[in-house]
Amino acid sequence: MTQRRLSPGRLVAATHNKGKVKELKDLFEPLGFEVVSALDLDLEEPEETEASFAGNALLKARAAAKSTGAPALSDDSGLAVTALGGAPGIYSARWAGEPRDFALAMQKVERELDDIGAEDRSAKFVCVLAMVWPDGHEEVFEGEVHGELVWPPRGERGFGYDPMFVADGETITFGEMDPARKHGMSHRARAFEKLKAALF
């Protein structure tokens, strides 16, 4: 498919995750977009049945574009821990259970690393942004940020696994970092830069 431009206007963020919605608003609203979330619109959250970040991102964006008739952007992202073979990966949110408790999810990551006596604490955050138009046109963009895991978690900012992740070249966790600074280097920011270069 040929690439197309994304015009400012209403954009549906196909997520029920308030942390992701805030980050997407911070990225898109300065460019003239009105970002409304699947949560705001009371859209059903589709079950993530695909085996990859890209597959799950497309699944969610397709459902939102079909339901609303508006362009939809979905973010599927997660933490991939080297010593755990890339886990929790696409199951990052599910490790937090329902209702989602990322303090427990972080404890589970740490416990599994302890169980195998892992000395390698390297990890990466992966983000795939899927943009789907109501006519079925689709674009996918991926970003990664590499770093190390720390314990105990530090910081009250960010969301998810941010308090246990220190990006390469940094000394503080994403949970301690000013949001504007995190937005400049995060996996989501890197995927967004690719999206912006292609669609704007």
**11 three-state secondary structure:** strand
> How many Cα atoms occupy the beta-carbon half-sphere of 171 within 13 Å?
0
Residue pointed to by tokens 């995750």: 17
What phi-psi label fits residue 86: left (phi over 0), alpha (psi between -120 and 50 degrees) or beta? left
Nearby residues of 199 by Cβ (< 8 Å), 6 or more positions away: 3, 4, 5, 6, 131, 139
Entry field: residues in the chain: 200
Q: Kindly name the residue from 40, 75, 76, 178 that is annotated as catalytic.
A: 76
| 34-37 vs 10-13, strand pairing mode | parallel
Task: Check residue 123 and report its DSSP letter.
Answer: E
Give the C-alpha separation, 142 to 140, whole Å.
7
Is 40 a catalytic site residue?
A: no
| 34-37 vs 138-149, strand pairing mode | unpaired
The first and second tokens of residue 113, run together, are: 């690393």
Active site members: 76
